[in-house]
Structure 1
């Protein structure tokens, strides 16, 4: 099992009122197997323990920063491929949904290689690609995994070769603006491609901030420096160290 250690700066905490109870009427609900969640290392499949606690710590620090600045749109990306950023993005979104102060929308913005739906064990009929290319209404795309309250997924569906251009398009910008402002208590988490492609850089201007997933033993200092340079105009919340070996018992 991957070990995840959050590394973020400390900030002040702002108080919020609890989000209203959500009753999903137009959003489709899907049964999701707990075993599938656990097999894909999603915290919703785990009992309380160190793995879940690590993401709760990350959740608390992320919320502190978002609330201090009045932000609600966060991108998750990585300097290199296969760093585990999709699992990290999903688990961060799930942990945010455990906080009663807001709802969470997880958007699979990896148009090149969408994978969020795979982690939950379902195949979407429609996704973000269908909205961008075929004008399928957003209401037909959204999915709530049953039993996970205040949490909705906008899946990616089929892969697209011209992904960077679509992510930078005016239509995508209008969608992000709508997602950010439709519900005042919503936090939107975008799972982006890694930074060795143009996609994340093209999408970065649409979000308030980004979180970088660093792969222990593989992400190099040069890759991290390059990533920070690429995202120089986007506030970086911090880094999340992924796939680290647990420390030996004293």
Structure 2
């Protein structure tokens, strides 16, 4: 922890001395009050069709329905916690593989970007299996790993996928030593720069699963808070509880129960099954006990 603190302090000093910038919107006016229309000059632009987004289940910025409404509710709850604590760096992770954390991070990022007072930077920090770019149909040549390994300038890595207020930093080439890279002083300086460059920017990191690698645990000290994604019918209570123990020193602002089977009628709709429910953290323990009961019954134990 002392090494991390020293690295963060060096980052602050370097930023004050250099005044260097790298890239999001052209205007630094995206700071205190976001402009009504952001013009991207340094960031590479890639137009992504709504048809492609729908086909890959990226839905929070599309036509209103129960799916996008669920993410708007999640956005409201997340923003409340961030504002209360003056936080702007959030990690999204899950206990295990394929529980929906990347898609949740993407849809949450889009929902947050729709808030007129904020811009959002979505960072693919799952460096062993970078995957965020595929949901947008992007084929970036470089990404975060290239910055960490070969000093590729950040402004050459960012991509604006045609969604107002959103910029994506792809993961780049897969790394086998991702834990070491994510916990390096160079990464800590980057996080500090991303965190403080634009006061109205929210930075979302898509992290690897907690129980698959040490990456998320190594990176956790750099973020303000974390959001845990659980999949109903798949995530075991033991895995969920172990994941929370691993993040005991990180502010957990809540959990998302992905692919929920509960029926919920949306406002102004005829009802249906909500794909996601947002669970306040003080209720997670009870929800996990309920989940355990359903899992045991389904397995016939």
Q: Is the shorter-chain TM-score for this pair beyond 0.5, marking a shared fold?
A: yes
- 1:138 matched to 2:150? The reply is no
- 1:159 matched to 2:174? The reply is yes
Q: Matches of 2:138 and 2:78 in 1, distance apart?
A: 28
Mean alpha-carbon deviation: is it higher for 27-36 or for 40-49? 40-49
Q: Matches of 1:50 and 1:101 in 2, distance apart?
A: 24
Structure 1 contact 115–156 (Cα < 8 Å) conserved = yes
1:79-158 equivalent positions in 2, closer than 5 A:
79-146=95-162, 148-158=163-173
Aligned to 1:247: 263
- 1:169 matched to 2:190? The reply is no
Compute the TM-score of the two structures, normalised by the length of structure 2: 0.75
Q: 2:225 aligns with which of 209, 214, 217?
A: 209
Q: CA deviation at 1:247?
A: 2.0
Name stretches of at least 5 consecutive residues in structure 2 with no aligned partner.
Answer: 1-30, 265-270, 273-301
Structure 1 contact 77–192 (Cα < 8 Å) conserved = yes
Q: Matches of 1:57 and 1:18 in 2, distance apart?
A: 23
Name stretches of at least 5 consecutive residues in structure 1 with no aligned partner.
Answer: 1-15
Q: Matches of 2:51 and 2:177 in 1, distance apart?
A: 35
Q: Which runs of 4+ in 1 moved over 3 A?
A: none
User: Relative contact order (C-alpha < 8 Å, sep 6+): which is higher?
Assistant: 1
- 1:229 matched to 2:245? The reply is yes
Q: What do the CA deviations read for 1:139-178 (whole angstroms, capped 9, x no partner)? A: 00000012x1111000012111000110000000000000
Q: CA deviation at 1:245?
A: 2.5
1:11-26 equivalent positions in 2, closer than 5 A:
18-20=33-35, 21-26=37-42
Q: How many residue pairs end up in the alignment? A: 234
Aligned to 1:34: 50
Q: Matches of 1:53 and 1:124 in 2, distance apart?
A: 31
CA RMSD of aligned residues (A): 1.6
Greater helix proportion: 2
